[in-house]
Amino acid sequence: MAITRDQAMTENVFHENAQRTDGTCYAHRRNGKTQTWKTRTDDFRTPIVYGLRGYGQLTPANADQFHTEADCPMRTREAQPKRSRASR
């Protein structure tokens, strides 16, 4: 499930294929405009940010390490019900 050029142009949230210990995906969000080139039609560069200080870029070289929020395999699982403070 690699990110395509069209998805990099339109999506705002990208999930990393690696999962946390609780089974959820790391979510990166767009941090600017996707850069494209006329001479290299398949090439793109999208700036992404994770949290407050983690940043990077989504390129064709690392696009296989990400998937879109709509294609997330964790969406099919039921979320664990959150416990209220009274039940703790």
pLDDT band at 85 (very low <50, low <70, confident <90, very high): low
Place of tokens 């989504």: 58
pLDDT of 10 over the 90 cut: yes
pLDDT of 2 over the 70 cut: yes
Domain ranges of the chain: 5-74
pLDDT of residue 22: 85
Average of pLDDT values for 32-49?
94
If one compares 42 and 88, the residue with the highest pLDDT of the two is: 42
pLDDT of residue 82: 55
What are the pLDDT digits (tens) for 49-65? 998 999 999 999 999 99
Locate 16 and state its tokens: 């990393």
Q: Which of 10, 28, 13, 9 is nearest to 71 (CA)?
A: 13
pLDDT of residue 35: 95
Are the beta carbons of 25 and 19 closer than 8 angstroms? Answer: yes
